[in-house]
Each structure stands twice: as C-alpha cells, then as structure tokens.
Amino acid sequence: MSGAREQDIVRVEASVGARLPEWLRERLLSENGFILDDSAGTTGRRWRMLPVRDDGDRKRMMRTAEDIARATAIARAVDRVSAPGFGEPEPGRPFPSDAVVIGVGWSEVERLALLPDPDNRGRLGMTLYRQMQFAPIESLGLGVDELAPDPTTFDTGEELPAFRYHPDPVATGSVRRSPNACSCCERRRGWEYVPRPYGRAEFAHICPWCIADGSAARAGARFVDTWALDEAGIAPDVQHDVATRTPGFATYQPEEWQSHCDDAAAFIGELDAEGLRLLAPERRDALGVTAEAIELVAQQQAGFAVFGFRCLHCGAVLGFLDID
C-alpha cells in the first residue's frame, strides 16, 4: 500500500486525541498499513498494523476503511461490556479511554495499543500494550519499533548441535530463528525450539544447545513422549535420549516415534506426496493412505498428515498418521 498523506495522519491524531510516535508516523508516510511478522519474536504473532483513513479516492478509501481511528473508537466503545471467559476486566474500563489501537492480530479482538507518554500526554509513548477481547491490556515490555526484530542479529554464529534422531530440526520446523533469550540458559543464541516441552510449560523459549547437552532435561523438561518406543521394546537408554535430548514436533494426536532395526528412527518431517510414495505398500495400507489420499496431499487438500521417519540402519521410510 502506498504511503499516507500528512493531512490524513493529522486528522487521525485529532480523532484519537494524541500525536502518533515519530517512528510510526514515518512508517505510515512510507506505507499506509503494513504487516509486522513477530512470529519469532516476543508475541509469536503476525500483526496487521493499521493505516490512517485516506479519502483521496474510492479505492484508497476502501483499502483504509479499517483504520487506527475506527479501531480505537470500537475498542473504547465496547470497553464497558464484560464477557465471562476472557478474564476479569478492570472496573469500568478494561481498555483505557486514552489508549489508541495501532494493530490487530488474527482478529479485531486481539489488539496492539499505545498509551500517552507520561511526560507528554499529547503524544503517544512507544511502549506496546496488548489486549485480548475484554481482558485488561498488558504491557509487552518493548517498544513499537522493537516488534518483529531480525532474529539474525542475535545469532552468535555457533553451529547448531547435531541430533541423531532428528537430524534437521530447522527443515522440519521444530527449531526456528529467534531473538528470544533461552528460558534455561538465559542466553540469546539466535535459535529456539518451537513446540512447548513436556514438564516445564513455563519454558517458553529453549535453545537447541540446552536440549542437546541435557540442560533443559535436568531442569525437568522433556521433548518426546516415548510410549511407542517402549511398546516396541527399544532400549531404555535410547528412549531416554529421544525423550530428553531430541527436539520433538507438534501434532494433533499423541506422537508415535517410529522404530526399526531395534533402534529409534530419525524424524524427517511431514511427508509430501512423493514421500508417501516412498513408503512400502504394506505400510501405506496399514496407515490407510490410498492413491486418492496421496493426490489430496499433492493438492494440499488433505485433512491429515503423515509424519515420516527413516531407519538409521537400513534406510526404510516409516510414518504415522496424524488427523487434524
């Protein structure tokens, strides 16, 4: 979207009762409404940063209809309503009357907001606040210019540790770039484990190194439920290695870590159509994966996934079915 006009920014500022921070004004002047991808940041979300309304022509007016002033007016209007299930609102106004909505998440009920600068009430401060539905707003502890940081700026240059039973956790999506400090070692190393671990739910951010060296496990975290390995009679030391020093992966159903040749197999990620064809016919039959189902996977229309594993000894491709 093209940049906003100064006159439109001024009009919105008059409507909300405060001047926008200079960082946000300059950004809107260059792009009137934009996306900030904070998936690897503090919020773990993609945010749609709102434009200011542009009445220059019909097309621009339609593109900017959901703007900062409108979203703020809606938030201030509904703040008098309490809703069970969304936490206890503060008496009267969970959304402050002087707060301004500048962005929304997956829906309009998840908002990013700014409050006036305590030293200059006519100007909004830089500190970001978030509100879910009717719950009170909460400070994110970072400035609007710190949202969606470049995770590579925190990369220490260390080579990622090797995992015998999950050789490429970056490719499978279990490890991603991140600017967050590890909940275990408290270091910013540029990478973090994506799924929540078992045992230590408060470990929101764990670096791969704390998984590999057992630090996170010693603090009580586990990464894989090894019931399937136990049923297959796999040696306890192998089960322990998979559970405590191997990145897991996110599933709808309980994970079934595969085994072959009396050893745990290596996780290789969700199988695409070509990967499904590598499964032995009897394995596809056991999973109920038909030719029609493989075609649905090829068309990205399947309501299921087959998570793949490869035997470390004979190379057999294995898998289990996960239905969403």
Angle, alpha carbons 192-195-200 (nearest 5°)? 90
Q: Tell me which of 304 and 263 has the higher pLDDT.
A: 263
Q: Which of 253, 231, 233, 257 is nearest to 318 (CA)?
A: 257
Please give the share of the chain, as a percent, with pLDDT higher than 70. 93
Structure tokens at 236: 């306890």
Give residue-wise pLDDT tens across range 57-66: 888 888 899 9
- The pLDDT of 176-199, averaged and rounded, is 89
- The pLDDT of 91-116, averaged and rounded, is 85
Can you give the pLDDT at residue 40? 67
> Distance between CA 316 and CA 218 in Å, rounded?
33
Q: Where does the pLDDT of residue 1 fall: very low under 50, low under 70, confident under 90, or very high at 90 and above?
A: low
- The pLDDT of 144-157, averaged and rounded, is 80
Average pLDDT, the chain: 88
Q: Where does the pLDDT of residue 191 fall: very low under 50, low under 70, confident under 90, or very high at 90 and above?
A: very high
Whether residue 86 is predicted with pLDDT greater than 70 in this model: the reply is no
Contact partners, residue 63, CB within 8 Å, separation at least 6: 1, 33, 51, 54
Can you give the pLDDT at residue 282? 85
Whether residue 82 is predicted with pLDDT greater than 50 in this model: the reply is no
| CA 32 remoteness from chain centre | 25
Can you give the pLDDT at residue 150? 75
Highest mean pLDDT among 131-140, 173-182, 202-211: 202-211
Whether residue 88 is predicted with pLDDT greater than 60 in this model: the reply is no
Its pTM stands at 0.61
